[in-house]
Each structure stands twice: as structure tokens, then as C-alpha cells.
Structure 1
Amino acid sequence: MIQDNKNLKLENTYCELPNIFYSKEIPEKILNPKLVEFNKELAEDLGLDLKFLNSDEGIQYLVGNKLLEGSTPIAQAYAGHQFGHFTMLGDGRAILLGEFISRNGQRFDIQLKGAGKTKYSRGGDGKAALGPMLREYIISEGMYGLKIPTTRSLAVISTGENVIREEILEGALLVRIAKSHIRVGTFQFARNFGDVEDLKKLADYTLNRHFKKDSYEGNSYLYLLKEVINNQAKLISKWQLVGFIHGVMNTDNMTISGETIDYGPCAFMDSYDINTVFSSIDINGRYAYGNQPKIGVWNLTRFAESLLPLLDDDIDNAIKIAEEALSNYGKLYNEYYFNGMRAKLGLFNKEEEDENLILSLLTIMNKFKADYTSTFLNLTLGNLEEMSIFKSDDFKKWYESWQARLAKQNKSRDEIKKLMQSNNPTVIPRNYIVENAIKAAVNNNDYSVINKFLEALKNPYDYSNISEEYSKIPEVPSCPYKTYCGT
């Protein structure tokens, strides 16, 4: 359990698994670490000692120069389908320092990203650059503010070293906090490179760590499959509702806990278009905005395949069991997504016409290239002169249908507005704002831009103090915005 000052203690229950699942590693020494971002609110929520972690000695522990009592640093092994192609993977630049119990009794991983080479580095240097680590810090905190399950960043620490990519960049470490780093790809690794007993031990460990052992009857591994299907359907629906595009939905980037992980080539959609792609490596649009729900079930099918030996001794029967569980994904996703869209439009109850009403609005938004976030923000505020879409005949006809639908529910205008306000953010991690903030920090050592933006991202549903600076629709760029993995 986390204690004060120098008595911080970790453990690593993951090491109770067979040793094929990890490699013991020691982080490379950092000679001149400098704390450039520290997540005070997260540290307080977890019950960590802020004074100690902000001290010179505390930073030595955060970067892994000194190891906390009970720490067993490891790199985790996993496999995965990357853009549809299966490969052996693993933590090539991340080292799990251990686990701790938070103030409210939850178990969390503390991991260093950019900690140096590991057994799984595959020729890479294991390091990370400052810009991409700041990007993960900003967007993961933005996701948390938007109430979307996510891994979080405790700190970004400059290493004082250079890393070589296409150019020489300043090096950095990210200290990441997660419910765990168990992935769909971890189960694929167990199925392909271990035996059934290894797979069973991983599944049992995951059940004990993330799911209530007494809340299911019958086949516990079927229960695990159903819970993960539900978690992913819910998570991806939340991405869609705010226009978030993950960019690299490989199976090794999908957690069993249902947290968003890996903020490399991700971005938020501006103009509504289901074909929106930002990732420079997603040449064919596999992970485009509109494909994310379908990729969700594709990834879950790979998870189900990994569990087949545990679902039933008869392989044909195991496949039937898995297929039946997977067939529920679409229903779950649609329920989460359309309920979320109803809330964005101020609808408290479910009516048969709702899906057509929602899809009609999205069709109009696509036709007029309307900004996704601003459209719903202005609908919430009633600012129907703010965007060209609102002046179109298509929208005016839709608006009449929407008002008629609102009138069918026994709710006041104030109640409707409050529901919309709690589901339509006034600020998101806009791509151009994120880029400007990172440039100020990396090029000019000016962190005031990031810190000001992070403050706004804490309360994206606060309508009492809307920032014109952060809610401004960006100008259409001369060339498409691209994001990169940062590896």
C-alpha cells in the first residue's frame, strides 16, 4: 500500500503469472531528469505523497533510477494484429515498475514509457521524445475530463538526452497509471505462444483483478468474454459520441479493463465525416472514425478466438458459444451510442423515430462539412446563426422534427438544456490547440500554454464559463492534418 515519503511500497502480482508473460528489466539510468508536468489532481486522488514525488529524491524513483520497495520492474509480453497482420510484440520501450493500492482501495499499475530497451524492443532504442509524451498527457487528461475511461499520465519528465528519429529530439519519460496493461494481445500471446494452462492462469488472474468473482454463475471464461465485449462496446460508443479517433486500434492497443490506451496517432474530428483519418500510417483508412465500431467487434473476435480452449472442450461448441456472445456486441453498441446521442439532443426517453432523427442530422452535418463539436454546442446554446448549416433548408426541416420530438416528452426546456449541457462539451483537445501547446513547450520551453489548456479540459461540460479561445472552430487547413506514432 502507498505510504508517506520514502516508505512508498509497490508489489507486482503480475509476476505470479508464468514467466513467459514478462521479462524482468531495469530502466536505463537517467542522468539529468527534470519534472516538466506533474498531475497533482491525479496524485491526490490516488493518495500519493505530492511533496515527496516533487522532490529531487522522488523524481529519482519516478524515472526508475531508484526502485521503490517491493518493485519488480518488468516488460510485458503480448502479441497482436497490427493493421490486420498478426505479430509477436511486447513492451519495447515501457517498463512496469509495479502496482499500488490507491486511497479508495483500487489496484493500479505504474509504468514508465520511454524507459529504454527491453527484450521486446525489436531493434528500437526504447526511448521516447518529449512532444509525443506531452501529447499523451494532454489528450489522456482531456479524455478523463470528458468522462471516457482512460489510462492517465502522472508525470512527464525530460531526460536531458536526445533521441534520434527523422531529426534529433529532446528525450522524455511518461509515467502512466492504468487499472492494468492487460490487452487483447496479451491473450493472443497466451493462445499462440503458451499452453492451455498458461491461458487459464492469465484468464483467472484477469477475472480476479478486474471482475467481481461472485457476480457470475457457470462458465467464468464466458463471463469474462461477455464483460469485455460490454466494456469495449461502451468505450467505443463514447469515442464516437465526442468525435475521437484512436488511429491505431490494433489488438495490442485494446485493454481488457475497457480503458483507452496508446495516444500516438489519435485526434479529434473537426468537420463531421465518417471517413476521417488522421494517422499517417493508416493509408487505407482501416481505423477511420466510421470504422471504429466495426473494428471493435473484429478485435473482440480475436479475443474470443484466444479464449476458445477455455469456453468448451469441444471446439465446435466453443465456437458457437463465442459467436453467440459476439452477436450481442452490435445491440450493446447501438444501445450505448443512440442513448448517448439522445442525451446530446435533450431526449430523455426512447422513441421509434429517434434513430432516423439522429442519422438525419448526421447526414446534414456531413453534407455541409459542419464542425462536429460546435454543431452540438450551438444546438445546446440555441445559437442557430453561428454556422452555415443552420441556414439550410435541410436543417430547418430537421429542426422542426426535433422540436416536435422534444415536445412529446414531459420535460421542461430547462431540464432539456441541462441534459444537453452535460453531454455536449464546450471544449475538447482540438488538434490545432494541442499542436500549438506542444510547440510552445518543446520549442520555447513555455509550459504555460499547456497548463492553461489542461485547466480548461478539466471541466469540458461547464457552460458557466465558455472559453471563446478553445471553442473556436479551426480554419480549414491547406493540407490534411496528420498524426504520428511518436515511436
Structure 2
Amino acid sequence: MNAVIHDSPAVVPGLAWNNRFAGLGPDFFTELPPTPLPSPYWVSRNQALAGEMGLAQPWFESQEALALFTGNRVAQGARPLSSVYSGHQFGQWAGQLGDGRAILLGELQTAAGAQEIQLKGAGVTPYSRMGDGRAVLRSSIREYLCSEAMHGLGIPTTRALCVTGSDAKVRREEIETAAVVTRTAPSFIRFGHFEHFSYSDQHEQLKVLADFVIDNFYPACREGAQPYASLLQAVSERTADLVAAWQGVGFCHGVMNTDNMSILGLTIDYGPFQFLDAFDPGQVCNHSDTQGRYAYNKQPNIAYWNLFCLGQALLPLMDSQEQALAALESYKTVFPQALEGRMRAKLGLSDARPEDKTLIESAFKLLAADKVDYSIFWRRLGGFVPGAANEAVRDLFLDRPAFDAWALQYSERLAHVDQGLRADLMLKTNPKYVLRNHLGEQAIQAAKVMDFSGVDTLLTLLQAPFDEHTAHGSFAGFPPDWASSIEISCSS
């Protein structure tokens, strides 16, 4: 059955559309409507985010909302478009890319501030590069859950308002069904947008884009002697904070291409990703990443490499190459400080001491040696008692003497810490629940037979990952043996 887009526009009650990105002009995008899907249905709705945005609940559960967020209806006041950008993929210049399956509806003025609304999986665009412009149920659920998991962890990210599905067939490694995930963010502008106009010698458009970002998102950069160098420094520092947050929680982003790096320092584009189970610094979560470019322990350097590419793109707007290099230097300072601060909090240390760096580094080495479950270790460590046996943590290790030596070092550090405050800080810093691959896989398999309860349960847990949720404690347990065989690739 062919789907037909509704002629009458959808109205989002109580909220007005703005189209600031569309105001940049036709060099930046192609206007086009989404391609409708037949017989859409709700997979999951993020009621918490809808409430934050000021979306009325009755409307959010309506057929009109379902049609809008599937791409079967265009909102009154919206200007759907797909943006053009370029980028480096796996370290190689890939040339022109763009929103191959994403359509920006526009920007809503919400109770949470201005938020762009984007449909991912909404059909072919001029930038699809022979693709079908669709997303599948599997990848849509993973992005929906992971973006909200990151938000629950306090890590900057795009967010997901809902997932809708259809029985329309999509071919990946096998035949799957189509889905659309509705994403929100203050902006979806990427490093690759700047690369596109710089590499094509469209320096006037490059300046328009940079001015747009500064004026709307980094106004303090206008006060600098060189606003575009100030922009590069500000983005470098946000990116450093972001990657430190990823490292601290054991998150691997499997496609850290420059076109997947947000100019606002958000986690964006959840394709292949993984929260570590067993701690392996060299973990590669993307089955397509055969060279291990985006392994967990390489993420900090890759982020800097990507920022260097952004700096090269911005060079036409600066006075010298030295200006760009100086702006990038802040990353080298901010990242280690941010990571140490996060790891110190995970250890329950509210103040800094010179010996903390050694304590943190030795903890990482200890975890890596025995490939200890990352999330469970940190959560259990919250119950650590200096001088006690601490079996709950100790039993995670094969090399017990090595743990005992580290525990003594940790105990000596805790002599300067209020134990009640330490335990409270650790419970608020080390999540009980993360989106492990096997949990997502179980929810996806159930969703394929129209059982979406697992998606909704995970959403609830991941939005409050530090809470106990005693009725769902099994979701915080060790992964089953089959979890290590799950392969995630770029194909969806």
C-alpha cells in the first residue's frame, strides 16, 4: 500500500514554529517534505521530554501527532529541509555528505527553549547517496533509548521524542521494517557543515554559518579579539568535556567521523555504540571499524583530530594558522582535567589531592587486567569500607592480591574523606543502569513482534539510572554469555 501525505497541515497546539536554519539560505539545504510511510503506529513516546517541551499530552497521543512524527503530515508553520555538509569518515575525506535520511521540520519555541525537531528515517533526500533514506526499527530503538540514557547520565546529547513504526520493508543485512525516530536538539549543526563550505571555497557561506552559530549559541565569542578563533576554542572545550564524560561512564561512540561531531558539544548520531561490559580499553564497538580507529581508548585523540579538522575549516576566517592552533590548545588542558574530575567523583572524592591521578590510573589498570565489569565495579565500590574485606568488590577480580593492594591505597586516601558524603556522591555518580547491548537487543526482539513494553521499561530505568528501581534489579546484572557475540555495524 502506498502512503500519501495529508494535504491539511498538522497543528502543534500552544507552540510556534521558527525556522532559523532555513533563514541561512538555499546554499545550506534543500527544502522537501518527508516521504510518508503506510499504516504507521506508535512504538514509544517519551512523555517526560514531551512535558518538558510543553507538548499537550492528549495531542501527543493523537493520530495527528502520529502522522506528523512519521512524516505523513507537515506541520503548519514548519519548513521541512535536509541540510548539506561534508566530512572526514574513518580518517579519509569523504566529500559532500548531508542529511541522507533526516529531515529537519523546523524549530519549536518550547518550554525548554528553542528546539529543532528532526525526523530520522523520513525518506530519500538529495544527500542519500544511493541509500533508501529509511531507518529500521532496530536502529531507531537503539538511538531512542541511548540518547535518553545519556541525558539521564547528565551527558550532553541530542534527545528523542518518540519512535513510530510501519510494516514497510527495508533491506539491510536482512529484510527489516521501517521506523522513524524524532530527534530534538538546540541545533544539529556539525563540524562537517563548516568543512563543506571551506573545502568548496564558499567562504562567504562559511562566514554566514559561523556568524549564525556564534550569534545564536556562543555569543560570548563576539567579545574576543578574533571571534572565530574564540568559537574554535569554545567548541574545543565543550568537546573535551563531552569526551571526558564518555570515558568516565564507559561509553564508546562507534563512528566519530567529523560529520558526526556536534558544534554544540552534544553526543549525536547513535549508530554503532556501546557501554562497556568487561573493561577493555581497546574495545571497538563498530563491527565495520576493522582498523579499530574508534576504540574506547582512542576516543580522546580522535576528538582532537576532529577538532583539528574543524580548525582547518575555519582558517579562512582567521588571521593565521597560529591562531587556530592556539585555540585548539585548550583541549589538551581541559580534557585531562575534566576526566580526572569525573573519575575523582566516581571514587567519591570531593576534593583534589596530588595522589589522585595515580589512584585513578591504577584503578583503570586493575580493571583492564581482569576485564572487570565496568558499571558493576563502580556501583559496588560505593559500598566500600576502609579496612573491611569488601567481598562484593573484591570478588569481581581474579587477581585478589592486586585488588587488595589497590584497596589499601584507596583506603589511605579515604582517611581524609567523610564516608557518608563519599557514599552519597558515589551513588549519584555511578549509575546502576546503563544501556547494555543485550538489554537493547532484548527490547528490539520483543518490538519486532509488536511488544513494546521492553522499550518503555528501559526508557523509565535509563531516565533515572542512579535510582535503585528494586523491581527491575535484573537489568543491572551481569550480561549473559551471548552478549559478547552481538555485532553492531554502520549498515542501519
- TM-score for both structures, normalised by structure 1: 0.94
- Residue 339 and residue 478 in structure 1: after superposition, are their counterparts in 2 closer, same or farther (change >3 A)? closer
Amino acid at match of 1:63: T
Structure 1 residue matching 2:17: 3-state secondary structure: coil
1:111 aligns with 2:118: yes
Read off the aligned partner of 2:110 and give its amino acid letter.
S
Is the CA contact (8 Å cut-off) linking 2:246 and 2:252 kept in structure 1? yes
In 2, are the aligned partners of 1:385 and 1:391 still within 8 Å (CA)?
no
Rate the CA distance shift 1:194–1:68 in 2: closer, same or farther, 3 A.
Answer: farther
Amino acid at match of 2:284: V
How far residue 389 of structure 1 moved from its aligned partner, in angstroms, is 1.4
CA contact (8 A) 2:100 2:128 kept: yes
Q: Does 1:283 align with 2:285?
A: no
Partner SS for 2:233: helix
Alignment of 1:16-27 (within 5 A): 16-27=23-34
Residue 205, structure 1, aligned to residue 207, structure 2: no
Partner of 1:229: helix, strand, or coil?
Answer: helix
Q: Following TM superposition, by how much is the alpha carbon of 1:480 offset from its aligned partner in structure 2, in angstroms?
A: 4.2
Between the aligned partners of 1:486 and 1:281, the Cα distance in structure 2 is 9
How high is the sequence identity, in percent, across the aligned residues? 38
| Structure 2 SS opposite 1:364 | helix
Q: In structure 1, the residue corresponding to 2:224 is in which secondary structure?
A: coil
Secondary structure of 2:117's partner? strand
8 Å contact kept, 1:74–1:97: yes
Q: Which moved more, 1:333-342 or 1:390-399?
A: 390-399
Match of 1:64 among 55, 71, 77: 71
Partner Cα distance (1:404, 1:271) in 2: 27
Cα distance per residue 1:132-185 (max 9 Å; x no partner)? 101111111111111111111111111331112222111111111111110000
Query: Unaligned stretches of 5+ in structure 2?
Result: 1-9, 385-389
Query: Could you list the per-position Cα deviations for residues 265-322 of structure 1 after superposition, in whole angstroms to 9, with x for gaps in the alignment?
Result: 111111111100121110010000000000010000000111111121xxxxx21111
Change (3 A) 1:123 1:306: same
Q: Do the aligned partners of 1:4 and 1:49 also contact (CA within 8 Å) in 2?
A: no
Match of 2:22 in 1: 15
CA distance in 2 between partners of 1:429 and 1:296 (Å): 23
Q: Which is further off, 293-302 or 457-466?
A: 457-466
Partner of 1:453: 458
How far residue 384 of structure 1 moved from its aligned partner, in angstroms, is 3.0
Partner of 2:138: helix, strand, or coil? helix
Aligned partner of 2:424 among 414, 418, 425: 418
Deviation at 1:80, TM superposition (A): 0.6
- Counterpart of 2:227 (choices 217, 220, 228) is 220
Report the AA paired with residue 60 of structure 1.
A
Letter in 2 for 1:449: G
- Note if contact 2:15-2:110 (Cα within 8 Å) is conserved in structure 1: no
SS at structure 2 position matched to 1:260? coil
Instruction: Figure out how many residues of one structure are paired with residues of the other and give that number.
Output: 476
Does residue 171 in structure 1 map to residue 173 in structure 2? no
Change in CA separation of 1:269 and 1:446 when aligned onto 2, cut-off 3 Å: same
Paired residue for 2:405?
Answer: 397
Return closer, same or farther for 1:466/1:404 CA change in 2, 3 Å cut-off.
farther
State which of 238, 242, 247 in structure 2 corresponds to 1:231.
238
Which piece of structure 1 moves more, 219-228 or 290-299?
219-228
For residues 88 and 438 of structure 2, what CA distance do their matches in structure 1 show?
31
2:373 is the counterpart of 1:371? yes
How far is 1:378 from its partner?
1.1
Distance 1:129 1:478 in 2: 21
Q: Which amino acid in the other structure matches residue 302 of structure 1? A: C
Residue identity matched to 1:452: T
Question: Secondary structure, in 3 states, of the residue corresponding to 2:43?
Answer: strand
Asked if the contact 1:132/1:486 (under 8 Å) is kept, the reply is no
One-letter amino acid of the structure 1 residue matched with residue 486 of structure 2: Y
Deviates more, 1:413-422 or 1:46-55: 46-55
Which residue of 80, 91, 95 corresponds with 1:84? Answer: 91
Question: Aligned partners of 1:452 and 1:96: how far apart in 2?
Answer: 29
The answer to whether the Cα contact below 8 Å between 1:421 and 1:463 also exists between their aligned partners in 2 is no
Q: Specify the alignment match of 1:329 in structure 2.
A: 331
**1: CA distance between counterparts of 2:282 and 2:12?**
50
Q: Distance in 2 between matches of 1:422 and 1:216?
A: 37
In structure 2, the partner of 1:75 is 82
Structural RMSD (CA) = 1.8
1:248-327 alignment, distance < 5 Å? 248-312=255-319, 318-327=320-329
Contact conserved, 1:114 with 1:126, CA < 8 A, in 2? yes
Alignment partners' CA distance in 2, 1:353 and 1:479? 36
Deviation at 1:6, TM superposition (A): 4.9
1:465 offset after TM fit, Å? 3.9
Q: Deviations over 1:402-457 (max 9, x none)?
A: 111111x3x42101111111111111111111111111111x21111221222111
Q: How does 1:32-181 map to 2 (within 5 A)?
A: 32-87=39-94, 88-104=96-112, 106-181=113-188
Of the candidates 457, 476, 479, which is equivalent to residue 474 of structure 1? 479
How many angstroms does 1:56 deviate by?
1.2
Aligned-pair distance for 1:62? 2.1
Measured after TM superposition, the shift of residue 467 of structure 1 is: 4.2
Report the CA distance between 1:63 and its aligned residue. Answer: 2.4
Match of 2:447 in 1: 441
